[in-house]
Amino acid sequence: MTDITSPSPPLSPKPAPAPAPGLGAIVARAGYQLGALLAPRLAGRIAADAFGRSRSKGGRTQFRMPLGAQTFDIAGNDDVRRGYLWKNDGPTVLLVHGWGSDSSSMIGFVKPLLALGFQVASFDAPAHGESAGNKTTMTRFVGAVGAALRSLGNVQVVIGHSLGSIASVAAVAQASEQHARAVRRMVLIAAPVSLSTVLERWACSHQQQLPRTVIDRIYDRLHVQNGVPVSHWDIGVLGAAMDVPVLVVHDEHDPVVPLTEAQRLLRSLQDVRLEQTSGLGHSRILSAAPVKELIARFVGDAHLTSTELEPGND
């Protein structure tokens, strides 16, 4: 593990005090407290829907073609029909953004990867960016990543951010043998180790402070929505059998996903290396030059070449 010192102003070692909850949050909290007593299942359903919301306000963004890209079709997925592709002669790198974000958040990796000869692809996850909807599930997110892997056919590197890291590992773990074996490197940036830890932090946060009775019903509701329990979405479990070199990049003062989650990944993945940054938080880490250079070296050192794997061949 090394420490990348950011040229950006460092974050404070001590997190800033949480802002006082607004009137809406206070009313919602009181509603959940009452719901826990009178109708815990209904309260859990409402809270689960809030947890699955991917947009803070508004609907899908207007389609805008990223500079230098063209669209590619994503087959076999009702939520996401197309993605963006920066064509090149080399193998493909798939960029997977985090929850509540979109493909534009990963745009900073395109130029250095193209310079190495890679082809680069990205897409807006279900209910994110230009994709329709305001709520989604991890199952649908993973399904979209898997459909992109199959449609592109020659993905040898996957780079995920935040919850996109869970979706990336899960999609590779669930892929057909030929598509899974094609992936030769993975990069997980600011990655939570599991969806359970994300849910617990959200439910117990200063803004939410949900009663345990309601939290338990959220787990029940998400199990129904996803078709698997929340505990299924665990990088340490899903990725334990993957024989793929993994680079984990995490900021020591990430206010969204604590560094301890990255440290847990070191103990659960087979071939993993942690690079720790300072002063970049959860989102600025994506645009920091030292991080882009680090990832470019990790990917470039693999000396990957194109294969003849056909798109959509399962």
CA distance 283 to 285: 5
User: Whose CA is closest to 310, among 185, 171, 184, 182?
Assistant: 182
Question: Looking at residue 303, what is its pLDDT?
Answer: 77
Which strands sit side by side in the sheet containing 155-161, from one edge to the other? Answer: 2-5, 272-278, 246-251, 185-189, 155-161, 92-96, 119-122, 82-86, 70-73
Give the number of other Cβ atoms within 10 Å of residue 24's Cβ: 9
User: Whose CA is closest to 270, among 232, 247, 244?
Assistant: 244
CA distance 133 to 61: 11
Question: Looking at residue 11, what is its pLDDT?
Answer: 37
Question: Looking at residue 209, what is its pLDDT?
Answer: 83
Report the topology of domain 72-192+244-302: Rossmann fold (3.40.50)
Give the number of other Cβ atoms within 10 Å of residue 170's Cβ: 26
Q: Are 146 and 175 in contact (CB under 8 A)?
A: yes
CA distance 134 to 52: 8
Question: Looking at residue 7, what is its pLDDT?
Answer: 40
Question: Looking at residue 304, what is its pLDDT?
Answer: 81
* Tokens matching residue 130: 């230009």
Question: Looking at residue 65, what is its pLDDT?
Answer: 77
Question: Looking at residue 43, what is its pLDDT?
Answer: 86
Question: Looking at residue 25, what is its pLDDT?
Answer: 60
Question: Looking at residue 24, what is its pLDDT?
Answer: 56
Question: Looking at residue 14, what is its pLDDT?
Answer: 47
| pLDDT beneath 50: ranges in the chain | 5-15, 23, 313
Tell me the CA distances in angstroms from 7 to 3, 276, 285, 287, one per residue in order.
13, 14, 11, 12
Q: What is the 3-state secondary structure (H, E, C) of the chain?
A: CEEEECCCCCCCCCCCCCCCCCHHHHHHHHHHHHHHHHCHHHHHHHHHHHHCECCCCCCCCCCCCCCCCEEEECCCCCCCCEEEEECCCCCEEEEECCCCCCHHHHHHHHHHHHHCCCEEEECCCCCCCCCCCCECCHHHHHHHHHHHHHHHCCEEEEEEECHHHHHHHHHHHHCCHHHHHHCCEEEEECCCCEHHHHHHHHHCCCCCCCCHHHHHHHHHHHHHHHCCCHHHCEHHHHCCCCCCCEEEEEECCCCCCCHHHHHHHHHHCCCEEEEEEECCCCCHHHCCHHHHHHHHHHHHCCCCCCCCCCCCCC
* Tokens matching residue 114: 């193209």
- In terms of phi and psi (left: phi > 0; alpha: psi -120 to 50; beta: otherwise), the region of 261 is alpha
For residue 189, the cross-strand partners are 161, 249
Predicted model pTM: 0.88
Task: Break the chain into its structural domains and give their ranges.
Answer: 21-51+195-232, 72-192+244-302
Question: Looking at residue 63, what is its pLDDT?
Answer: 67
